[in-house]
Amino acid sequence: MSILDNYPQLDVIAVGAHPDDVEIACGGTLAKLSHQGYKVGIIDLTDGEPTPRSPGPEVRMAEAKAAAETLGVHTRVTLDLPNRRLFDNFESRVALAKEFRKFRPKLVIGFGGKTPLASPDHWQAMQITDAAIFYSRLTKWDEHFDGLPVHTIPKHIYFRLVFEPMEHPEAPGSFVVDIGDTLETKISSVRCYETQFPPEKDYVFDRVRGAASHIGTLAGFQHGELFHTTRAIGTTDAMKFLFPE
Protein backbone atom coordinates (compact mmCIF):
# COMPACT_ATOMS: atom_id res chain seq x y z
CA MET A 1 0.00 0.00 0.00
CA SER A 2 1.38 3.39 -1.03
CA ILE A 3 1.62 6.30 1.39
CA LEU A 4 -0.39 8.29 -1.15
CA ASP A 5 -3.38 5.94 -1.29
CA ASN A 6 -5.22 8.03 1.32
CA TYR A 7 -4.75 11.26 -0.63
CA PRO A 8 -6.64 11.76 -3.90
CA GLN A 9 -4.69 13.62 -6.55
CA LEU A 10 -6.05 17.12 -7.13
CA ASP A 11 -5.83 19.19 -10.29
CA VAL A 12 -5.85 22.53 -8.48
CA ILE A 13 -5.06 23.73 -4.96
CA ALA A 14 -5.80 27.28 -3.83
CA VAL A 15 -3.91 28.45 -0.72
CA GLY A 16 -5.20 31.10 1.69
CA ALA A 17 -3.98 32.46 4.98
CA HIS A 18 -7.43 32.18 6.58
CA PRO A 19 -10.79 30.59 5.78
CA ASP A 20 -12.65 33.03 3.46
CA ASP A 21 -9.52 34.39 1.69
CA VAL A 22 -9.80 31.98 -1.21
CA GLU A 23 -13.57 32.37 -1.55
CA ILE A 24 -13.28 36.16 -1.80
CA ALA A 25 -10.31 36.08 -4.18
CA CYS A 26 -11.11 33.27 -6.60
CA GLY A 27 -14.24 31.43 -5.48
CA GLY A 28 -15.88 31.88 -8.87
CA THR A 29 -12.96 30.27 -10.64
CA LEU A 30 -12.82 27.33 -8.22
CA ALA A 31 -16.56 26.73 -8.66
CA LYS A 32 -16.16 26.87 -12.43
CA LEU A 33 -13.25 24.43 -12.39
CA SER A 34 -15.24 22.04 -10.23
CA HIS A 35 -18.21 22.25 -12.59
CA GLN A 36 -15.85 21.53 -15.49
CA GLY A 37 -14.82 18.26 -13.85
CA TYR A 38 -11.50 19.21 -12.27
CA LYS A 39 -10.56 18.06 -8.77
CA VAL A 40 -10.22 21.19 -6.65
CA GLY A 41 -8.74 21.65 -3.18
CA ILE A 42 -8.27 24.49 -0.69
CA ILE A 43 -5.54 24.73 1.94
CA ASP A 44 -5.97 27.30 4.71
CA LEU A 45 -2.70 27.95 6.50
CA THR A 46 -4.51 28.93 9.72
CA ASP A 47 -8.01 28.51 11.15
CA GLY A 48 -8.44 32.28 11.30
CA GLU A 49 -8.95 32.27 15.06
CA PRO A 50 -9.22 34.30 17.19
CA THR A 51 -11.39 36.71 15.23
CA PRO A 52 -13.69 39.42 16.63
CA ARG A 53 -17.16 38.00 15.90
CA SER A 54 -16.51 34.25 16.01
CA PRO A 55 -17.28 32.27 19.18
CA GLY A 56 -14.48 29.81 18.43
CA PRO A 57 -12.64 27.63 15.90
CA GLU A 58 -15.43 25.05 15.66
CA VAL A 59 -17.83 27.63 14.24
CA ARG A 60 -15.28 28.98 11.77
CA MET A 61 -14.45 25.46 10.62
CA ALA A 62 -18.14 24.71 10.08
CA GLU A 63 -18.42 27.86 7.98
CA ALA A 64 -15.37 26.83 5.94
CA LYS A 65 -16.83 23.38 5.35
CA ALA A 66 -20.12 24.85 4.14
CA ALA A 67 -18.29 27.29 1.86
CA ALA A 68 -16.22 24.49 0.31
CA GLU A 69 -19.34 22.42 -0.31
CA THR A 70 -21.01 25.43 -1.94
CA LEU A 71 -18.10 25.79 -4.37
CA GLY A 72 -17.94 22.06 -5.10
CA VAL A 73 -14.45 21.79 -3.61
CA HIS A 74 -13.35 18.19 -3.15
CA THR A 75 -10.80 18.57 -0.34
CA ARG A 76 -10.18 21.28 2.26
CA VAL A 77 -7.23 21.17 4.65
CA THR A 78 -6.54 23.52 7.55
CA LEU A 79 -2.96 23.65 8.76
CA ASP A 80 -2.12 24.25 12.40
CA LEU A 81 -0.23 27.50 11.84
CA PRO A 82 -0.93 30.55 14.03
CA ASN A 83 -3.36 33.24 12.91
CA ARG A 84 -2.07 36.80 13.41
CA ARG A 85 1.41 35.34 13.96
CA LEU A 86 1.89 33.66 10.61
CA PHE A 87 5.47 33.94 9.42
CA ASP A 88 7.44 32.56 6.51
CA ASN A 89 9.78 30.12 8.22
CA PHE A 90 11.16 26.68 7.57
CA GLU A 91 8.47 24.84 9.54
CA SER A 92 5.63 26.62 7.71
CA ARG A 93 7.20 25.93 4.33
CA VAL A 94 7.61 22.23 5.09
CA ALA A 95 4.06 21.91 6.46
CA LEU A 96 2.58 23.23 3.21
CA ALA A 97 5.02 21.35 0.99
CA LYS A 98 3.90 18.11 2.64
CA GLU A 99 0.33 18.83 1.54
CA PHE A 100 1.50 19.49 -2.00
CA ARG A 101 3.34 16.16 -1.98
CA LYS A 102 0.23 14.39 -0.68
CA PHE A 103 -2.28 15.83 -3.16
CA ARG A 104 0.06 16.35 -6.16
CA PRO A 105 -1.65 19.32 -7.85
CA LYS A 106 -0.97 20.48 -11.39
CA LEU A 107 -1.77 24.08 -10.50
CA VAL A 108 -1.36 26.09 -7.30
CA ILE A 109 -3.14 29.41 -6.85
CA GLY A 110 -1.93 31.66 -4.05
CA PHE A 111 -1.65 35.21 -2.77
CA GLY A 112 0.19 37.67 -4.99
CA GLY A 113 1.54 40.77 -3.30
CA LYS A 114 0.97 42.70 -0.12
CA THR A 115 -2.45 43.73 1.20
CA PRO A 116 -1.99 47.15 2.87
CA LEU A 117 -4.40 47.84 5.76
CA ALA A 118 -5.37 44.16 5.78
CA SER A 119 -3.81 41.19 7.56
CA PRO A 120 -0.01 40.90 7.23
CA ASP A 121 -0.62 37.13 7.22
CA HIS A 122 -1.49 37.47 3.52
CA TRP A 123 2.01 38.57 2.54
CA GLN A 124 3.52 35.81 4.65
CA ALA A 125 1.20 33.30 2.98
CA MET A 126 2.51 34.32 -0.43
CA GLN A 127 6.10 33.73 0.64
CA ILE A 128 5.26 30.41 2.31
CA THR A 129 3.43 29.21 -0.81
CA ASP A 130 6.23 30.23 -3.16
CA ALA A 131 8.77 28.38 -1.03
CA ALA A 132 6.59 25.30 -0.50
CA ILE A 133 6.20 24.85 -4.26
CA PHE A 134 9.99 24.74 -4.48
CA TYR A 135 10.33 22.45 -1.46
CA SER A 136 7.76 20.05 -2.90
CA ARG A 137 10.11 19.02 -5.69
CA LEU A 138 13.40 18.92 -3.79
CA THR A 139 15.19 15.57 -3.63
CA LYS A 140 17.69 14.34 -1.01
CA TRP A 141 15.70 15.92 1.82
CA ASP A 142 13.43 13.01 2.73
CA GLU A 143 13.90 13.34 6.49
CA HIS A 144 11.77 16.52 6.51
CA PHE A 145 8.79 15.16 4.55
CA ASP A 146 7.58 12.02 6.35
CA GLY A 147 8.57 9.74 3.49
CA LEU A 148 6.31 11.53 0.98
CA PRO A 149 7.64 11.35 -2.58
CA VAL A 150 8.67 14.52 -4.35
CA HIS A 151 6.15 16.28 -6.58
CA THR A 152 6.83 18.96 -9.17
CA ILE A 153 4.03 21.52 -9.56
CA PRO A 154 3.97 22.63 -13.22
CA LYS A 155 2.00 25.88 -12.88
CA HIS A 156 1.64 28.56 -10.21
CA ILE A 157 -0.48 31.72 -10.46
CA TYR A 158 -1.38 34.55 -8.10
CA PHE A 159 -4.73 35.96 -7.01
CA ARG A 160 -5.46 39.36 -5.47
CA LEU A 161 -8.22 40.05 -2.96
CA VAL A 162 -11.04 42.00 -4.58
CA PHE A 163 -10.45 44.89 -2.14
CA GLU A 164 -6.84 45.37 -3.23
CA PRO A 165 -5.19 46.99 -6.30
CA MET A 166 -5.30 44.74 -9.34
CA GLU A 167 -1.77 45.53 -10.49
CA HIS A 168 1.16 43.25 -9.77
CA PRO A 169 4.31 45.03 -11.02
CA GLU A 170 6.52 41.96 -10.78
CA ALA A 171 4.20 39.57 -12.65
CA PRO A 172 5.09 38.96 -16.31
CA GLY A 173 1.48 38.43 -17.35
CA SER A 174 -2.15 38.27 -16.33
CA PHE A 175 -5.45 36.84 -17.49
CA VAL A 176 -9.14 36.91 -16.61
CA VAL A 177 -11.40 33.92 -15.98
CA ASP A 178 -15.04 34.29 -17.00
CA ILE A 179 -17.17 33.70 -13.89
CA GLY A 180 -20.45 34.95 -15.27
CA ASP A 181 -22.08 31.61 -14.50
CA THR A 182 -20.50 31.15 -11.05
CA LEU A 183 -20.52 34.64 -9.50
CA GLU A 184 -23.63 33.86 -7.44
CA THR A 185 -22.02 30.61 -6.26
CA LYS A 186 -18.97 32.60 -5.16
CA ILE A 187 -21.10 35.08 -3.24
CA SER A 188 -23.05 32.26 -1.61
CA SER A 189 -19.77 30.72 -0.45
CA VAL A 190 -18.65 33.99 1.13
CA ARG A 191 -22.04 34.33 2.84
CA CYS A 192 -21.33 31.03 4.60
CA TYR A 193 -18.99 33.03 6.86
CA GLU A 194 -21.75 34.57 8.93
CA THR A 195 -19.34 35.41 11.75
CA GLN A 196 -17.15 37.43 9.38
CA PHE A 197 -19.87 39.11 7.34
CA PRO A 198 -22.88 39.97 9.53
CA PRO A 199 -25.71 42.14 8.10
CA GLU A 200 -23.88 45.40 8.85
CA LYS A 201 -21.11 44.28 6.47
CA ASP A 202 -23.37 43.53 3.51
CA TYR A 203 -21.47 46.21 1.61
CA VAL A 204 -18.76 43.59 1.12
CA PHE A 205 -20.96 41.72 -1.33
CA ASP A 206 -21.52 44.89 -3.35
CA ARG A 207 -17.76 45.25 -3.58
CA VAL A 208 -17.36 41.63 -4.68
CA ARG A 209 -19.96 42.14 -7.42
CA GLY A 210 -18.46 45.45 -8.46
CA ALA A 211 -14.94 44.04 -8.74
CA ALA A 212 -16.17 41.04 -10.71
CA SER A 213 -18.06 43.32 -13.09
CA HIS A 214 -15.09 45.61 -13.62
CA ILE A 215 -12.59 42.80 -14.13
CA GLY A 216 -14.93 40.93 -16.45
CA THR A 217 -15.47 44.02 -18.58
CA LEU A 218 -11.72 44.31 -19.15
CA ALA A 219 -11.82 40.95 -20.96
CA GLY A 220 -15.24 41.23 -22.59
CA PHE A 221 -17.06 39.13 -19.98
CA GLN A 222 -19.96 40.04 -17.75
CA HIS A 223 -18.02 39.05 -14.64
CA GLY A 224 -14.48 37.86 -14.12
CA GLU A 225 -11.60 37.13 -11.76
CA LEU A 226 -8.07 38.32 -12.43
CA PHE A 227 -4.93 36.23 -12.04
CA HIS A 228 -1.26 37.09 -12.43
CA THR A 229 1.22 34.63 -13.85
CA THR A 230 4.60 33.73 -12.42
CA ARG A 231 5.95 33.18 -15.94
CA ALA A 232 5.11 34.66 -19.31
CA ILE A 233 2.19 32.96 -21.07
CA GLY A 234 3.19 31.22 -24.29
CA THR A 235 1.42 29.33 -27.07
CA THR A 236 2.28 27.34 -30.18
CA ASP A 237 -0.98 28.34 -31.89
CA ALA A 238 -1.84 32.04 -31.69
CA MET A 239 -5.29 31.57 -33.24
CA LYS A 240 -6.42 28.87 -30.80
CA PHE A 241 -5.01 30.94 -27.97
CA LEU A 242 -6.87 34.07 -29.03
CA PHE A 243 -10.04 32.27 -30.12
CA PRO A 244 -10.57 29.38 -27.67
CA GLU A 245 -13.56 27.14 -28.22
Q: What is the pLDDT along the chain (245 residues), one digit of tens a residue?
A: 688 888 999 999 999 999 999 999 999 999 999 999 999 999 999 999 999 889 999 999 999 999 999 999 999 999 999 999 999 999 999 999 999 999 999 999 999 988 888 999 999 999 999 999 999 999 999 999 999 999 999 999 999 988 777 777 678 999 999 999 999 999 999 999 999 999 999 999 999 999 999 999 999 999 999 999 999 999 999 999 999 87
What are the structural domain ranges in the chain? 12-242
Q: What is the pLDDT of residue 163?
A: 78
Number of helices (H), then strands (E), in the chain: 7, 7
| Per-residue pLDDT, 113 | 86
pLDDT at 171: 84
Tell me, what's the pLDDT at 38?
98
Domain covering 12-242 assigned CATH 3.40.50.10320 in the classification: yes
What is the C-alpha end-to-end distance of the chain, expressed in Å?
A: 41
Instruction: Give the pLDDT score at 199.
Output: 93
Distance separating alpha carbons of residues 65 and 223, to the nearest angstrom: 25
For residue 23, the tally of other CB atoms under 10 A from its CB is 31
pLDDT of residue 156: 97
- pTM to 2 decimal places: 0.96
- C-alpha dihedral sign at 232, 214, 28, 125: positive
One DSSP character per residue, 54-113 reads -S-HHHHHHHHHHHHHHHT-SEEEE--PPTT-----HHHHHHHHHHHHHH--SEEEEE-S
Judge contact between 137 and 151, C-beta under 8 A: yes
Could you give the CA distance from residue 177 to residue 136 in angstroms, rounded to a whole number?
Answer: 27
